[in-house]
Amino acid sequence: MARPKKAKQKHEPESIAHALDEIESTGDRLTEWILANPRIILGTVFAILVVAAGYAGVRSSNESSLEAASAALGIEQVGYRQAMGAAAEDIVIAEPANPETARRVREEYVARFQKVATEHAGTAGGAVAALETGLLEQALGEPDAALATWQEAASQADASSPLRALLELRVAAAHETDGRWTEAGEAFERAAAIQDFPLRQTARAEAARCYAEAGELDRAIAAYEQAKREAPDAFLPEHVESRMQELQAAQRLN
């Protein structure tokens, strides 16, 4: 599949539940879905913040830190939506009529979300704040800053947290957009290594696809075969299946 285009018409699913059902049932390509639905993802993550914290093992030992991070994140999320002219509970935020207003608000809230991410690094709230920060940096035309934000947050997140996987998917998408296929594959594999991430096998299949694009055929086949070993009955994207089967056939002939 061709790599994601930097400017793309976005289609928003009808609801979070619909979006999740759709990606789980069809195995749609992770990168494309994330790029097209950033607010859906962040809304979902915010809704399961306490659950994610439980995955990360912080519920009992750092409950006060979790509550503080969640409160700080919530304040900034509500403030951002209001500043952009949306209702506090809105997930999808319409672009303001005045482009200068949108730019000014995004610049202000990059700093605000980054402050939450820094002060609450390693918590679920801090991870979501970093996701928000990077999205705003992207919208301001600063993709390198966004990538750096997500990479730093991923390095600070708990190694077993599904939120770390979401950060790694963002890193993968950024690398893929710029044609850094090996780096994209490695980020997808880091997401796939997180046992509690429900789409880990799809992420590993996407890693295989990226390695193939990079010309690293042995790594591509290894990632694909690992995905099949770990979940033989899992649905993998058809475009990945067909490409990997071609590579396996060519490898046997050689």
Q: What percentage of residues in the chain have a pLDDT greater than 70?
A: 72
C-alpha 85/C-alpha 72 separation (Å) is 20
Q: 40-56 burial, b if ≥16 CB within 10 A, otherwise e? A: bbbbbbbeebeebbbbb
Token output for 141:
């035309």
pLDDT band at 147 (very low <50, low <70, confident <90, very high): very high
The closest alpha carbon to 197, from 238, 232, 154, 164, belongs to 164
Give the span between the Cα atoms of 75 and 243, in whole angstroms: 46
Q: At what angle do helices 124-139 and 143-156 cross, to 10 degrees?
A: 170
User: Is residue 222 one of the residues assigned to a domain?
Assistant: no
pLDDT at residue 243, as a whole number: 86
Average pLDDT over residues 76-86: 89
In a domain, 197, yes or no: no
Q: What is the pLDDT of residue 74?
A: 84
Residue 153 included in any domain: yes
Residue 136 CA to residue 145 CA, distance in Å, equals: 10
Give the span between the Cα atoms of 62 and 92, in whole angstroms. Answer: 31
| Average pLDDT rounded to a whole number, residues 10-30 | 41
Q: What is the tally of structural domains in the chain?
A: 1
**pLDDT confidence tier of residue 168, bands split at 50, 70 and 90:** very high
Q: How confident is the model at residue 37 (pLDDT cuts 50, 70, 90)?
A: low
**Mean pLDDT value across the chain:** 78
In a domain, 90, yes or no: yes
Residue 21 belongs to some domain of the structure: yes
Domain carrying residue 179: 16-187
pLDDT for residue 251 is more than 60: yes
Task: Read off the pLDDT band of 44 (50, 70, 90).
Answer: very low
In a domain, 247, yes or no: no
Q: What is residue 23's predicted lDDT score, i.e. its pLDDT?
A: 39
Q: What is the pLDDT of residue 43?
A: 47
pLDDT band at 62 (very low <50, low <70, confident <90, very high): low
Tell whether the model's pLDDT for residue 190 goes beyond 50. yes
Long-range contacts of 214-220 (CB under 8 A, 24+ apart): 214/181, 214/182, 214/185, 216/182, 216/185, 217/247, 217/251, 219/185, 220/185, 220/244, 220/247
